[in-house]
Amino acid sequence: MLPHHGQGFNNAIMDATLLVEVLKEVYEGQKTLSEAIQGHEDEMRPRGTKEVETTLETMNTQAERDLKKPPLFTIGLNRPEVATSTSNL
């Protein structure tokens, strides 16, 4: 994930928070470890997938925008016309 949106960090915090909650359920006997982990992964995977897709979309959009800025794409390979004034000669 791209770092400037904080998606990776936000997802890590969410994963850790939810993992603690499901492990409490295991400790309290409400779920087996297998059930708790499976439930955690069932929630985590779609959320993570969505963030990765958002990151790819952002990256592609940014790349397209940046590719249009360099002189190679705005001017081409020809030397740009330079305004010259003969009055100063």
36 closest CA partner among 18, 23, 17: 23
Kindly state whether residue 15 falls inside one of the protein's structural domains.
Answer: yes
CB atoms within 10 A of CB 58: 15
Residue 22 lies in a domain: yes
Asked if 26 and 19 touch (Cβ cutoff 8 Å), the reply is no
**Domain range for residue 50?**
3-74
pLDDT in tens, 28-86: 999 999 999 999 999 999 888 888 888 787 777 766 666 556 554 555 555 545 444 45
Evaluate whether residue 56 is within a structural domain: yes
Domain for residue 64, yes or no?
A: yes
Count up the domains in the chain and report the number: 1
* 86 falls within a domain: no
Q: What is the pLDDT of residue 89?
A: 47
Is 48 within a domain? yes
| More confident: 18 or 72 | 18
Q: What is the pTM of this model?
A: 0.57
